[in-house]
Amino acid sequence: MDFSTPTAGMQSASAAFDSAANAITQAFSNSASDPLSAGSTMGDSVDLSTAVAALLKSNLDFTANIKMAIVENQMNQSTFSILA
């Protein structure tokens, strides 16, 4: 069984998730000590929106690659049961 394609996809999605999470962390660390205080700026909201969208996309990508691995496993099991 070769799970290299879904594994590579999961690693890529995980790296994208980490990158987006770091971008969100930076948005909060660049703000004032209390990000909810009046007059506080949390960085560019467009960057924050982009980072959140990237988090959601990486989650969907990871889930899709898990499902690909499951289907590949089911196909292999079916092939083995036919051959046995």
Q: pTM for the whole thing?
A: 0.71
What is the distance between the alpha carbons of residues 48 and 35, in angstroms, rounded to a whole number?
14
**Are 16 and 61 a contacting pair, CB within 8 Å?**
yes
38-62 residue pLDDT tens:
555 555 555 788 889 999 999 999 9
Who has greater pLDDT, 38 or 80? 80
* Average pLDDT of the chain to the nearest whole number: 83
- Per domain, the residue ranges of the chain are 4-31+43-83
- Work out the burial of residue 64: count CB atoms within 10 Å of its CB; fewer than 13 is exposed, 13-18 middle, 19 or more buried: middle
